[in-house]
């Protein structure tokens, strides 16, 4: 298994509830290195671009409203098998269906306001990291 990276966004609901620190701690305890972390408000244009794959979904408008409501933390994570391991730690999209011990179980509110985002493939992780961070800010993986 090789060291890889994934993108996490701590969403507005969790930042508003002051859960960003607790979520970063869960990630570190689970063996992730925080390679980059920036608190920023998402503009409508940036949020729409990020979630463009969901444009046709009925919840798209609601999702963009939510993601632009207040600042998020955009976080680059690194560890072995990062994409799959982080999806596991994140838990199901609907926090009510998430397993005990997952971030969404502990900090998510509902299927829309579910505390965190996570890349769903290594290729999407590369695209999503590049969407937020220039190469100069995210040093290459050692080795
Ligand atoms: P994310 O992409 O944010 O990591 P995910 O991969 O678990 O979440 P997706 O199916 O990609 O889930 O949906 C993207 C986001 O859209 C969800 O995290 C949630 O915020 C929102 N969403 C998904 N389904 C619904 C729904 N039925 N109603 C409202 N919002 C939804
Ligand atoms: Mg997704």
Q: For residue range 72-95, list pLDDT tens digits in order.
A: 999 999 999 999 999 999 999 999
pLDDT above 60: residue 143 = no
Beta strands 116-118; 72-80: pairing state: unpaired
Tell me, yes or no, whether 11 lies in a domain.
yes
Tell me, yes or no, whether 61 lies in a domain.
no
Best residue among 7, 55, 93 to mutate for probing ligand 1, ranked by most atoms within 8 Å of CB: 93
Confidence of residue 109 (pLDDT cuts 50, 70, 90): very high
Average pLDDT of the residues in 58-71:
98
**Residue 18: which region, alpha, beta or left (left: phi > 0; alpha: psi -120 to 50)?**
left
| Residue among 117, 118, 128, 132 flagged as catalytic | 117
Q: Domain residues for 91?
A: 3-42+72-132
Domain count, the chain: 1
Helices (runs of H) and strands (runs of E) counted in the chain: 7, 4
Q: For residue range 132-142, list pLDDT tens digits in order.
A: 999 988 976 65
Q: What is the pLDDT of residue 142?
A: 59
Q: What percent of the chain has pLDDT over 70?
A: 97
54 is catalytic: no
Contacts of residue 11, defined as CB under 8 A and 6 or more positions apart, other chains included, come to: 66, 67, 72, 113, 114, 115, 116, 117
Tell me, yes or no, whether 124 lies in a domain.
yes
pLDDT above 70: residue 30 = yes
Q: What is the pLDDT of residue 4?
A: 96
The CATH number of the domain holding residue 103 is 3.30.70.141
Give me the torsion for CA of 48, 61, 6, 12, rounded to 10°.
110
Q: Is 53 in the pocket of ligand 1 (CB under 6 A)?
A: no
Tell me, yes or no, whether 88 lies in a domain.
yes
Q: Where are the beta strands (DSSP E) in 96-142?
A: 116-118
Tell me, yes or no, whether 27 lies in a domain.
yes
Task: For residue 6, report the phi and psi dihedrals to the nearest 5 degrees.
Answer: -145, 165
Q: What is the pLDDT of residue 141?
A: 60
Average pLDDT of the residues in 24-43:
98
Tell me, yes or no, whether 111 lies in a domain.
yes
Q: What is the pLDDT of residue 139?
A: 72
Task: Please tell me the distance from the alpha carbon of residue 113 to that of residue 18, in angstroms, as a whole number.
Answer: 14
pLDDT above 60: residue 34 = yes
Work out the mean pLDDT of the chain and round it to a whole number. 96
Tell me, yes or no, whether 83 lies in a domain.
yes
């Amino acid at each position: 298994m090789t060291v890889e990276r994934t993108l996490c966004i701590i969403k507005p609901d969790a930042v508003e509830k002051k859960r960003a620190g607790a979520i970063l701690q869960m990630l570190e305890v689970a063996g992730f290195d925080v390679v980059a972390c920036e608190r920023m408000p998402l503009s409508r244009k940036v949020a729409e671009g990020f979630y463009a794959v969901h444009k046709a979904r009925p919840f798209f408008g609601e999702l963009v409203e939510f993601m632009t409501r207040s600042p998020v933390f955009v976080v680059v994570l690194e560890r072995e098998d990062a994409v799959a391991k982080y999806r596991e730690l994140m838990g199901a999209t609907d926090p009510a269906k998430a397993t005990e011990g997952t971030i969404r179980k502990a900090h998510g509110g509902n299927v829309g306001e579910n505390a965190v985002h996570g890349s769903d493939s290594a290729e999407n992780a590369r695209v999503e990291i590049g969407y937020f961070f220039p190469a100069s800010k995210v040093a290459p993986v050692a080795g």
